């Protein structure tokens, strides 16, 4: 059975609109508080506000590196949304050994799996 050209056009239009859907829609917003930890970062809290594909907010991190440990924050973060992924950065404390700290992660529902400065994976949960 051959579909009428109008039906084909409708299916194509729906496909294109879903493929190009705006990642900033209300259901997919990164806005909110994300918390988690791993062996190196014993407490990570990102308080994120999303406006379009831009992110701002604060980060608060407790860390335990070999030879250094401490707590910093809340400190201002800035970042960007890439579909279901994000990247945020902030100035690092002198004791961390880094100039800048960066969290990059991918969202799946209420979970955000990523890492800080490419360390071991951290699973953050939205609260």
Answer yes or no: are the C-beta atoms of 35 and 124 closer than 8 Å.
yes
- pLDDT of 106: 96
Q: Domain for residue 2, yes or no?
A: no
Provide the domain count of the chain.
1
CATH of the domain at 68: 2.40.128
What are the backbone angles phi and psi of residue 50, rounded to the nearest 5°? -110, 135
60: CB partners within 8 A, 6+ apart: 43, 44, 45, 47, 71, 72, 73, 74, 75
Q: Domain for residue 120, yes or no?
A: yes
Q: Domain for residue 1, yes or no?
A: no
Q: Domain for residue 7, yes or no?
A: no
What are the backbone angles phi and psi of residue 39, rounded to the nearest 5°? -65, -35
Q: Domain for residue 6, yes or no?
A: no
The mean pLDDT of the chain is: 80
Q: Domain for residue 18, yes or no?
A: no
First to last CA, the chain: 51
Considering the entire predicted model, what is its pTM? 0.74
Cα–Cα–Cα angle for 53, 55, 60, rounded to 5 degrees: 155
Element (H, E) at 54: strand 54-65
- Within 13 Å of residue 42, how many CA atoms lie on the same side as its CB? 9
Q: Domain for residue 17, yes or no?
A: no
Which residues constitute the domain of residue 51?
24-126
Q: Domain for residue 19, yes or no?
A: no
Residue 14 CA to residue 126 CA, distance in Å, equals 31
- pLDDT of 85: 96
The 10s digit of each residue's pLDDT in 24-48 is 444 579 999 999 999 888 999 999 9
Residue 22 CA to residue 52 CA, distance in Å, equals 9
């Amino acid at each position: 059975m051959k579909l009428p050209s109008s039906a084909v056009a409708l299916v194509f239009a729906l496909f294109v609109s879903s493929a190009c859907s705006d990642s900033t829609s209300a259901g997919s917003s990164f806005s909110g508080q994300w918390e988690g930890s791993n062996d190196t970062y014993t407490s990570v809290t990102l308080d994120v506000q999303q406006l379009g594909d831009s992110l701002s907010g604060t980060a608060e991190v407790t860390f335990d590196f070999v030879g250094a440990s401490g707590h910093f924050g809340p400190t201002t973060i800035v970042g960007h949304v890439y579909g279901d992924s994000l990247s945020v950065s902030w100035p690092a404390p002198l004791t961390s050994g880094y100039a800048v700290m960066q969290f990059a992660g991918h969202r799946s529902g209420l979970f955000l799996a990523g890492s800080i400065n490419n360390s071991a994976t951290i699973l953050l949960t939205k609260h």
